[in-house]
Structure 1
Amino acid sequence: MARHYGTAIIPARPYKPKDKSKAENAVLIVERWILMRLRYEHFYTLSSLNQRIRELLMELNQRQQRVHPGSRYELYMRLDKPALMPLPAYAYTYIDSKQARVGPDYHVLYAKHAYSVPHNLVGQTVTLEATAQIICLYYHGNVVAQHPRKHQPGGFSTMKEHMPDAHVKQRWSAERLLGWAESIGSGCRAIIASQLERRQHPEQAIKSCLAILNLATKYGQDRLEAACLKALLLEQPHRKVILNLLLNNKEQDLSGTDIDEHPMMNHHNIRGQHYYQ
């Protein structure tokens, strides 16, 4: 931002309160001459409040100072304004920059939304620059992809030219994922098939499919298969549901409901269903 406006940012020194005295005094003056004078006034629109603040600010800047001769406005016109440079031709735009590794589905994740890059960059590290309107992706300093900024969590922005000509060009194909899942069990295969069908392009589901299949490494194939079967029974074939079942050891209960280990308590305040007509 400093380079854009051709200025320099010099922060106050730590443990040197006198460095901040000018700024703090300016805040105090604004509180006394503007905010304190507004405390008894009523405003019903933001524009009317802004108009009143503008009037009081003009009055404050025209007020004669005691130490320095002239008003703040006169000093600004005589000293500051002649030294000012013209504003840049376009407004400053904040850019969020980060390094990201391209996933096996040739997408890069930013703010929970996936953006595609050419499929031959799978496994490579790219630089992502994000503004409020556009996402730019660079590889070795060259632009490899541009996408309009999307704010849809879990969504995909995929360009057709980034897609491989055939699944065989990829390390992971739908057939290989289904084959791996089938070696674990029919329930796991059904979950992976569901993940592939939910996406507009099967390649977009590779990352989520691998995340589910890799759970077998930590929890074992039998537990993963049981969790997949229960997730299908609950009609929630999602990784988050499967992981939650595994973490809480609930995958073996195929009833779809949690079993209450404590018997119902008998108490005169508990009236039961027969109480209500």
Structure 2
Amino acid sequence: MSGIYPTKKRKKLMPMQDRSTIIGIIEMRSKGFSYLDVQARYRIGSGTITRIMKNFDAMATTLDELKLMEAGAVVDAFFPPERRRRKDTALPDFVKIHERMLDMGKRADLSLIWMDYSEDNPDGYRLSQFYKLYGEYLAQISGNKRSSMPVERIPGQKMFIDWAGDTPELLVDETTGELSKVHFFVTTMGFSSYLYAEAFLDEKTPSFVAGTAHALTFYGGVPEQLVPDNCKVAVSKHTKDELILSSAYSDLEDYYDVVVLPPPARKPKGKPTVENHVRQIETHLIERLKSKPYVTLGEINRDMAKLVDSINDKPFQKRSDIRHSRKRGFEKYDQPKLRPLPGLPFLTCDYRSVLRIPDNYHVEYDDHYYSIPSTMVGKPAVLKATMSEIRICDSDNRLICKHERSYKTFPLYITIDEHMPAHHAFNKELDARDGGYYRRWASTYGQSMETLIDRILRVPKHEEQAYRSCAGILHMCTDVPRPIVIESADKCVEAKVFKYSHFKKVLGQARQSCSHNEGQDAIGLPDHANIRGKDYWK
């Protein structure tokens, strides 16, 4: 091997995963997904999966408790800092690997060979680096690194998703005559290439999520994986080491219990099935739709559905193709492998990213302001709005709180008391109470207290100005024995002094007197035969 591809040592960091990957691996394994499914979803080796599951089994922590932990604490629990060190890793034997690829012929799959390699080398090269090194080896022996491997399509495994690049102006405004662009959402099943397409006014998150849900309903089942394009509405971050889905697609993934697996970024060959059909739609279907103007999206989608049906029914040119046509291939091979749909369709939301929770701990939506715990001030969040509910989640898509959506003009601020700091809650409590409230509260301490509070409320020109004095007096009595409170109120009424400061003074004297008397009783002499007592001298 040294003559072709010299052996050398490479420094490589110990493979460490982020919080979302760790929790996602545990969830998938808990639901019965195989190692291959987990590896395809998170692009990691089986050794990393084994290590994470082994550590999780050894922890006295449930999955729900793990989700509540901070991201850094989760990573440190599975990948302690002291074990993250550099090490030397020898290159794989690409001579033997290439010979094995040739022996496999049409069944050649480098990912399967990497899985065997990772079993023997748990801390070896990850999948993306393994591919890169093998490509460099091919370039050295053949001068060409553009080799493509045959891909074995598995029925019911993948649904590919994309937008068509062509956005023709098909919609006509009947009033102004202006033309509007239309965007085409396209999906295909991986094995049969069974096609679905739908027109939308834009390519924003609600349209992309709705298109995905409609496609699954059209197919009548759920595949193992959804393979969307690396657009921002589906993927927040996708590098060779990390995949983070958007909140919308993360919700969809959980609802349908499906794995979302975008292809490597900037590599359209990762989903050639849908790419080919997008070209067909742009060349044939969209050109036909341009023949007449439309007033509504419904009209476009009705005509497009007929054209899509004709494409799906059309026999393949190659007569030996076992699918015969897209529709027949879907019904015979893909459809039996799909899992049943949930009972209800996925409820689409309007997603709003909040970069920073403002100091007043309320986030705005549709001219209303919804509260969030004040401890979240300064942190990012995601707001999800449906027709009836407002949900607010943290940056890891964990639910923080929810509100019933308001359509009334007032109040503008929708606040849950538990979200307020203590001093804000106290001020709100004062503002929400009237004179009748304080009179009823005072009556629980007897007639004198009720008279005292009533007279205090009557002193100012407006009784609202006395609310704080009344609240102060009544809160002052909370931890005081009831007889002392009644006695203090009686003294204030007898003296005809109805002031907060006077009651505070009288109550303090009463409490001090009570404490002194209790102390005297405690100092009394005990009974004993050697103590004669005061009655002896009478």
State if a TM-score over 0.5 links the two structures.
no
Q: What's the TM-score once normalised by structure 1's chain length?
A: 0.45
| Larger-gyration structure (1/2) | 2
